Structure 1
Amino acid sequence: MRRDGMGWVICGLLSVACGDDHPEINSESYEFQGAIHTVVINAGSGSVVLTGKAGSLVSVSFSSEGGDSFQFEEVAGRLSVGSLCQDGTLGCGTDVAVLAPPGTDFEIFTDSGPVTVTGMDVIGRIETTSGAIFALDLGPMILSTRSLSGDHQVTFDEVPLEVEMEGGQSGALSLEVPQGDYQLDISAGGTIQTSGIQDGPSGPELTLSTNTGDVTVTGR
């Protein structure tokens, strides 16, 4: 479905019945045209994939089973999308895939679903309960990742503006950044390994904490 002005035009809709032993799989995709500056995603146990793609459109695809659905709302350039349970509450198992211009801010929330973000910059926030977090090939940006137990893998192609990674009880944290000077603040119950970077009074702040997990910070 494409939003253009005040109208909606259907771009894609697919509903597939998988037989008596499998729930129905529903897939839908939409395009939003206009000044979308922030994308907010809520996805329960479903997976989230956000990919930076040059252009002016934001494309959103949903895939769900067994009656779970989705909802979205766009207000003043802020697009909120989320998986919707059969009882009308947010969460459940709808998978969400989004293509957005790299300069789009993002906020992503899941329970146990994994999150993969690629090629984004500016400002980003990812929070999960136990889902793994992958934020890869990032540009200069402010990034915050948090979980209670999920592992985090973050890589920057360019020098970040600021990074905060919190692994909660047991999440392992892995961060790769360009070589250089950084202000490091690291606490971990497991092992801490750093290489290829210098800790000093200047440079972007890198804050990493986890109660029992390991922390690895690498300059490349």
Structure 2
Amino acid sequence: MSTSGYYDRLGRPEPPRALRNEELTKIIRQVHADSRGSYGSPRVHAELTLGLGEKVNRKRVERLMREAGLQGVYRRKGRRNLVNQATEEDLVQRGFDVEAPDRLWLTDITGHPTGEGKPYCAAVMDAYSRRNIGSSIDARQNTDLVVNALAMAVARRKPDARSTILRSDHGTQYTSWVFGKRLRDAGLLGSMGTVGDCYDNAMMESF
């Protein structure tokens, strides 16, 4: 390459695809960090497309993660049964008796068959008063359903940061990056009970 050609190349702007890759890599790093390094390319791709509305295919996400040295946590199937075992995120331990409002919130999704289809309802309940403080109804049980219910509860009660626990199950809506980010933005402490155990969700189920 000639000297003039070298300096001419240095002065050229980055091609659009390279700029887009840099932008996507920054977002991917943030999603991966927010998942505490647990998300692999399938979950990262789902958060990008479903949660953030980014238009990108899965192979591109795989390549960018590989180039950035990012990978998820892999668990071998069949080696460990988590049914009825407490998880490290369980901050409640079935202690549903609280002494004041906005100390513990519970949330879940339920479906209601009707003659025109099956709408889904997500609700947030204060364990102290057992009142419904936030709800959302939609034809799909997606992340928006639970985020909207949580947003209503936060707007109504304005809880103190880092003093309110929100207890949910392990549904994909509640383990999504979007819902986790909404929790962090509101200063709430997320908590999940044991896997496959109906007793951990009995209070919300009765509602």
User: Whose radius of gyration is greater, 1 or 2?
Assistant: 2
The normalised TM-score by structure 1 is 0.21
More helix by share: 2
More strand by share: 1
The normalised TM-score by structure 2 is 0.22
